[in-house]
Chains A and B, each alone.
Chain A
Protein backbone atom coordinates (compact mmCIF):
# COMPACT_ATOMS: atom_id res chain seq x y z
CA UNK A 1 0.00 0.00 0.00
CA UNK A 2 1.18 3.50 -0.74
CA UNK A 3 0.67 6.26 1.80
CA UNK A 4 1.47 9.90 1.17
CA UNK A 5 2.51 12.48 3.71
CA UNK A 6 2.65 16.23 3.35
CA UNK A 7 4.85 18.21 5.71
CA UNK A 8 4.23 21.93 6.00
CA UNK A 9 5.86 24.65 8.03
CA UNK A 10 3.80 25.96 10.93
CA UNK A 11 2.19 29.32 10.44
CA UNK A 12 4.56 31.36 12.60
CA UNK A 13 7.74 29.89 11.14
CA UNK A 14 9.58 32.08 8.66
CA UNK A 15 9.92 30.46 5.24
CA UNK A 16 12.56 32.42 3.31
CA UNK A 17 12.48 29.95 0.42
CA UNK A 18 8.74 30.40 0.03
CA UNK A 19 9.28 34.17 0.09
CA UNK A 20 11.86 34.04 -2.70
CA UNK A 21 9.61 31.77 -4.78
CA UNK A 22 6.80 34.26 -4.24
CA UNK A 23 9.02 37.14 -5.39
CA UNK A 24 10.12 35.21 -8.45
CA UNK A 25 6.54 34.33 -9.37
CA UNK A 26 5.71 37.98 -8.93
CA UNK A 27 8.55 38.95 -11.26
CA UNK A 28 7.27 36.46 -13.83
CA UNK A 29 3.95 38.20 -13.93
CA UNK A 30 2.01 36.03 -11.49
CA UNK A 31 1.22 39.12 -9.47
CA UNK A 32 -1.99 37.90 -7.84
CA UNK A 33 -0.17 35.53 -5.45
CA UNK A 34 -0.58 36.42 -1.76
CA UNK A 35 1.87 34.01 -0.21
CA UNK A 36 3.92 30.90 -1.00
CA UNK A 37 4.91 28.34 1.64
CA UNK A 38 7.25 25.52 0.73
CA UNK A 39 6.79 22.04 2.17
CA UNK A 40 7.73 18.40 1.65
CA UNK A 41 5.91 15.45 0.18
CA UNK A 42 6.63 11.77 0.83
CA UNK A 43 5.31 8.59 -0.75
CA UNK A 44 5.76 5.62 1.53
CA UNK A 45 5.29 2.15 0.10
CA UNK A 46 4.53 -0.24 2.95
CA UNK A 47 3.97 -4.00 3.28
CA UNK A 48 1.11 -3.36 5.70
CA UNK A 49 -2.26 -4.16 4.16
CA UNK A 50 -4.53 -2.81 6.90
CA UNK A 51 -5.38 0.85 6.29
CA UNK A 52 -5.62 1.94 9.89
CA UNK A 53 -2.50 0.08 11.00
CA UNK A 54 -0.53 1.53 8.09
CA UNK A 55 -1.68 5.04 8.93
CA UNK A 56 -0.75 4.58 12.56
CA UNK A 57 2.75 3.43 11.57
CA UNK A 58 3.20 6.39 9.24
CA UNK A 59 2.03 8.74 11.94
CA UNK A 60 4.75 7.34 14.19
CA UNK A 61 7.27 7.89 11.39
CA UNK A 62 6.14 11.50 11.09
CA UNK A 63 6.54 12.13 14.79
CA UNK A 64 9.90 10.41 15.08
CA UNK A 65 11.65 11.39 11.87
CA UNK A 66 9.77 12.88 8.95
CA UNK A 67 8.60 16.05 10.70
CA UNK A 68 10.11 18.23 13.37
CA UNK A 69 7.08 19.18 15.41
CA UNK A 70 8.65 22.37 16.71
CA UNK A 71 8.33 23.90 13.26
CA UNK A 72 6.33 21.53 11.09
CA UNK A 73 2.90 19.94 10.78
CA UNK A 74 2.23 16.69 8.98
CA UNK A 75 -0.81 15.47 7.12
CA UNK A 76 -1.30 11.85 6.18
CA UNK A 77 -3.28 11.38 3.01
CA UNK A 78 -5.70 8.45 3.08
CA UNK A 79 -4.31 5.49 1.18
CA UNK A 80 -6.29 4.49 -1.88
Chain B
Protein backbone atom coordinates (compact mmCIF):
# COMPACT_ATOMS: atom_id res chain seq x y z
CA UNK B 1 0.00 0.00 0.00
CA UNK B 2 1.31 3.40 -0.96
CA UNK B 3 0.71 6.55 1.00
CA UNK B 4 1.67 10.20 0.64
CA UNK B 5 2.03 12.76 3.39
CA UNK B 6 1.86 16.38 2.28
CA UNK B 7 4.25 18.79 3.96
CA UNK B 8 3.15 22.43 4.09
CA UNK B 9 5.28 25.24 5.43
CA UNK B 10 4.56 24.95 9.14
CA UNK B 11 3.47 21.31 9.21
CA UNK B 12 5.00 19.64 12.26
CA UNK B 13 3.37 16.21 12.50
CA UNK B 14 4.34 15.15 8.99
CA UNK B 15 7.32 13.07 10.09
CA UNK B 16 5.38 11.48 12.97
CA UNK B 17 2.80 10.43 10.41
CA UNK B 18 5.54 9.08 8.15
CA UNK B 19 6.88 6.97 11.03
CA UNK B 20 3.41 5.69 11.86
CA UNK B 21 2.47 4.80 8.30
CA UNK B 22 5.76 2.97 7.69
CA UNK B 23 5.50 1.11 10.99
CA UNK B 24 2.27 -0.48 9.85
CA UNK B 25 3.39 -1.34 6.35
CA UNK B 26 2.68 1.64 4.12
CA UNK B 27 5.30 2.65 1.59
CA UNK B 28 5.15 6.33 2.34
CA UNK B 29 6.35 9.31 0.36
CA UNK B 30 6.68 12.86 1.61
CA UNK B 31 5.22 15.35 -0.85
CA UNK B 32 6.02 19.06 -0.85
CA UNK B 33 3.08 21.48 -1.01
CA UNK B 34 4.48 23.27 -4.08
CA UNK B 35 4.53 20.08 -6.16
CA UNK B 36 1.81 19.80 -8.74
CA UNK B 37 1.45 16.02 -9.00
CA UNK B 38 0.61 13.46 -6.35
CA UNK B 39 2.61 10.25 -6.54
CA UNK B 40 0.47 7.15 -7.04
CA UNK B 41 -1.18 6.66 -3.66
CA UNK B 42 -3.74 4.52 -1.90
CA UNK B 43 -3.93 7.06 0.91
CA UNK B 44 -3.08 10.76 1.13
CA UNK B 45 -2.58 12.34 4.53
CA UNK B 46 -2.70 16.03 5.39
CA UNK B 47 -0.76 16.17 8.65
CA UNK B 48 -1.04 18.29 11.77
CA UNK B 49 0.85 21.48 12.45
CA UNK B 50 0.49 25.17 11.85
CA UNK B 51 0.56 25.54 8.08
CA UNK B 52 1.32 29.13 7.08
CA UNK B 53 1.42 30.07 10.74
CA UNK B 54 -2.39 29.69 10.95
CA UNK B 55 -2.64 33.09 9.22
CA UNK B 56 -6.09 34.38 8.23
CA UNK B 57 -7.89 31.18 9.30
CA UNK B 58 -6.24 27.86 10.17
CA UNK B 59 -5.75 25.86 6.99
CA UNK B 60 -7.03 28.58 4.66
CA UNK B 61 -3.72 29.26 2.89
CA UNK B 62 -2.69 25.63 2.69
CA UNK B 63 -6.04 24.78 1.10
CA UNK B 64 -5.04 26.96 -1.88
CA UNK B 65 -1.54 25.53 -2.33
CA UNK B 66 -0.49 23.94 -5.59
CA UNK B 67 -0.64 20.29 -4.48
CA UNK B 68 -4.17 20.69 -3.13
CA UNK B 69 -5.75 20.74 -6.56
CA UNK B 70 -4.34 17.25 -7.13
CA UNK B 71 -5.49 16.19 -3.67
CA UNK B 72 -8.99 17.52 -4.36
CA UNK B 73 -9.12 15.71 -7.72
CA UNK B 74 -7.87 12.54 -6.05
CA UNK B 75 -10.57 12.80 -3.35
CA UNK B 76 -13.29 13.57 -5.87
CA UNK B 77 -12.38 10.45 -7.83
CA UNK B 78 -12.82 8.34 -4.69
CA UNK B 79 -9.25 8.42 -3.32
CA UNK B 80 -8.70 8.06 0.43
CA UNK B 81 -7.72 11.39 1.98
CA UNK B 82 -7.25 11.79 5.72
CA UNK B 83 -6.66 15.14 7.42
CA UNK B 84 -5.43 15.17 11.01
CA UNK B 85 -5.73 18.29 13.17
CA UNK B 86 -4.40 21.10 10.93
CA UNK B 87 -5.07 18.65 8.09
CA UNK B 88 -8.74 18.61 9.14
CA UNK B 89 -8.73 22.41 9.15
CA UNK B 90 -7.29 22.34 5.62
CA UNK B 91 -9.98 19.87 4.52
CA UNK B 92 -12.83 22.07 5.74
CA UNK B 93 -11.29 25.04 3.96
CA UNK B 94 -11.23 23.09 0.68
CA UNK B 95 -14.88 22.18 1.17
CA UNK B 96 -14.12 18.46 0.87
CA UNK B 97 -15.78 18.01 4.26
CA UNK B 98 -18.52 20.33 5.56
CA UNK B 99 -18.27 22.83 8.41
CA UNK B 100 -15.45 24.81 9.99
CA UNK B 101 -13.19 24.63 13.03
CA UNK B 102 -13.48 27.59 15.36
CA UNK B 103 -11.33 28.71 18.24
CA UNK B 104 -11.75 26.42 21.27
CA UNK B 105 -14.66 27.49 23.43
CA UNK B 106 -12.56 28.40 26.49
CA UNK B 107 -9.75 29.97 24.42
CA UNK B 108 -7.18 27.49 25.66
CA UNK B 109 -4.74 25.44 23.64
CA UNK B 110 -5.69 21.89 24.62
CA UNK B 111 -3.07 19.16 24.74
CA UNK B 112 -4.22 15.92 26.32
CA UNK B 113 -5.46 12.40 25.75
CA UNK B 114 -9.15 12.01 24.99
CA UNK B 115 -11.54 9.19 24.33
CA UNK B 116 -13.53 9.11 21.14
CA UNK B 117 -16.44 6.93 20.15
CA UNK B 118 -16.58 5.64 16.61
CA UNK B 119 -19.79 6.93 15.07
CA UNK B 120 -19.78 4.91 11.88
CA UNK B 121 -17.96 1.75 10.85
CA UNK B 122 -19.38 1.51 7.39
CA UNK B 123 -16.23 2.97 5.85
CA UNK B 124 -12.63 2.00 5.13
CA UNK B 125 -11.22 3.91 8.09
CA UNK B 126 -13.06 2.21 10.93
CA UNK B 127 -14.51 -0.96 9.39
CA UNK B 128 -13.45 -4.02 11.45
CA UNK B 129 -12.13 -2.02 14.41
CA UNK B 130 -13.24 -4.15 17.34
CA UNK B 131 -13.31 -1.36 19.89
CA UNK B 132 -16.06 1.22 19.91
CA UNK B 133 -14.01 3.66 21.96
CA UNK B 134 -10.43 4.69 21.21
CA UNK B 135 -7.97 6.75 23.21
CA UNK B 136 -6.27 9.34 21.04
CA UNK B 137 -4.31 12.52 21.67
CA UNK B 138 -5.45 16.05 20.86
CA UNK B 139 -3.34 19.20 20.64
CA UNK B 140 -5.11 22.18 19.17
CA UNK B 141 -6.33 25.72 19.58
CA UNK B 142 -9.01 25.64 16.89
CA UNK B 143 -10.87 22.36 17.13
CA UNK B 144 -14.32 23.63 17.94
CA UNK B 145 -16.34 22.05 15.13
CA UNK B 146 -19.15 24.20 13.81
CA UNK B 147 -21.56 23.93 10.92
CA UNK B 148 -24.92 25.33 9.90
CA UNK B 149 -28.12 23.59 11.00
CA UNK B 150 -28.73 22.45 7.42
CA UNK B 151 -25.23 20.99 7.22
CA UNK B 152 -25.67 19.27 10.58
CA UNK B 153 -28.89 17.65 9.43
CA UNK B 154 -27.21 16.42 6.27
CA UNK B 155 -24.19 15.13 8.20
CA UNK B 156 -26.44 13.22 10.59
CA UNK B 157 -28.74 11.91 7.87
CA UNK B 158 -25.74 10.50 5.98
CA UNK B 159 -23.97 9.12 9.09
CA UNK B 160 -20.99 11.35 8.36
CA UNK B 161 -19.96 11.77 11.99
CA UNK B 162 -16.80 9.67 12.28
CA UNK B 163 -15.96 10.12 15.95
CA UNK B 164 -17.32 11.99 18.97
CA UNK B 165 -15.55 13.00 22.18
CA UNK B 166 -16.73 10.76 25.02
CA UNK B 167 -15.61 9.17 28.27
CA UNK B 168 -13.78 5.86 28.50
CA UNK B 169 -17.09 4.00 28.38
CA UNK B 170 -18.27 5.77 25.27
CA UNK B 171 -20.70 8.14 26.95
CA UNK B 172 -21.03 11.23 24.74
CA UNK B 173 -21.82 14.12 27.08
CA UNK B 174 -21.08 17.80 27.32
CA UNK B 175 -18.60 17.30 30.16
CA UNK B 176 -16.38 15.19 27.85
CA UNK B 177 -16.38 17.84 25.14
CA UNK B 178 -12.96 19.50 25.35
CA UNK B 179 -13.43 22.36 22.91
CA UNK B 180 -17.10 23.19 22.44
CA UNK B 181 -17.65 21.22 19.21
CA UNK B 182 -21.23 20.81 18.09
CA UNK B 183 -22.48 17.38 19.27
CA UNK B 184 -18.98 16.54 20.59
CA UNK B 185 -17.84 16.04 16.99
CA UNK B 186 -14.14 15.15 16.78
CA UNK B 187 -14.08 13.94 13.19
CA UNK B 188 -16.29 13.77 10.12
CA UNK B 189 -16.41 12.19 6.69
CA UNK B 190 -17.44 13.53 3.36
CA UNK B 191 -20.63 12.03 1.96
CA UNK B 192 -18.84 9.16 0.22
CA UNK B 193 -16.67 8.49 3.32
CA UNK B 194 -13.39 8.35 1.44
CA UNK B 195 -12.37 11.66 3.05
CA UNK B 196 -11.91 11.80 6.81
CA UNK B 197 -11.02 14.86 8.86
CA UNK B 198 -10.38 14.55 12.58
CA UNK B 199 -8.76 16.60 15.32
CA UNK B 200 -7.19 13.68 17.31
CA UNK B 201 -3.77 12.34 16.36
CA UNK B 202 -3.72 8.56 15.95
CA UNK B 203 -0.02 8.79 14.96
CA UNK B 204 0.79 9.78 18.54
CA UNK B 205 -0.62 6.52 19.93
CA UNK B 206 1.51 3.87 18.28
CA UNK B 207 3.91 2.89 21.02
CA UNK B 208 2.92 0.99 24.17
CA UNK B 209 5.73 2.42 26.26
CA UNK B 210 5.38 6.04 25.12
CA UNK B 211 1.66 6.52 24.76
CA UNK B 212 -0.92 3.87 24.08
CA UNK B 213 -1.66 1.58 21.20
CA UNK B 214 -5.05 2.71 20.00
CA UNK B 215 -3.35 4.45 17.08
CA UNK B 216 -1.67 1.14 16.24
CA UNK B 217 -5.10 -0.47 16.15
CA UNK B 218 -6.31 2.26 13.82
CA UNK B 219 -3.40 2.03 11.36
CA UNK B 220 -3.24 -1.79 11.32
CA UNK B 221 -6.91 -1.88 10.57
CA UNK B 222 -6.69 0.86 7.94
CA UNK B 223 -4.01 -0.87 5.90
CA UNK B 224 -5.95 -4.13 6.03
CA UNK B 225 -9.06 -2.38 4.83
CA UNK B 226 -7.19 -0.88 1.91
CA UNK B 227 -5.64 -4.15 0.74
Contact = CB atoms under 8 A, between A and B. Distances in A.
Closest 7 CB pairs of A and B: A70-B100, A16-B107, A71-B100, A68-B100, A16-B103, A68-B57, A16-B105
A59 B146 CA distance: 24
B123 interface: no
B60 A68 contact: yes
B180 interface: yes
A65 interface: yes
A14 B56 contact: no
Interface string A4-32: 00000000011011001000000000000
Given A13-B102, A20-B107, A71 B146 contact: yes
A36 interface: no
Given A13-B102, A13-B146, A17-B107, 19 more contacts: A14-B102, A14-B144, A16-B104, A16-B105, A16-B106, A20-B107, A64-B64, A65-B56, A65-B64, A66-B56, A68-B57, A68-B60, A68-B93, A70-B99, A70-B146, A70-B147, A70-B148, A71-B102, A71-B146
Contacts of B105: 14, 16
A20 B146 CA distance: 20
A14 B182 CA distance: 11
A56 to B, nearest CB: 20
Nearest to A64: B64
A73 B56 CA distance: 14
A66 to B, nearest CB: 7
Contact of B60 (A17, A20, A65, A70): A65
Interface string B142-179: 00101110010000000000000000000000000000
Contacts of B64: 64-65
Nearest to B180: A14
28 contacts: A13-B102, A14-B102, A14-B105, A14-B144, A14-B146, A16-B103, A16-B106, A16-B107, A17-B103, A17-B107, A20-B107, A64-B64, A65-B56, A65-B60, A65-B64, A66-B56, A68-B57, A68-B60, A68-B93, A68-B100, A70-B99, A70-B100, A70-B146, A70-B147, A70-B148, A70-B151, A71-B100, A71-B146
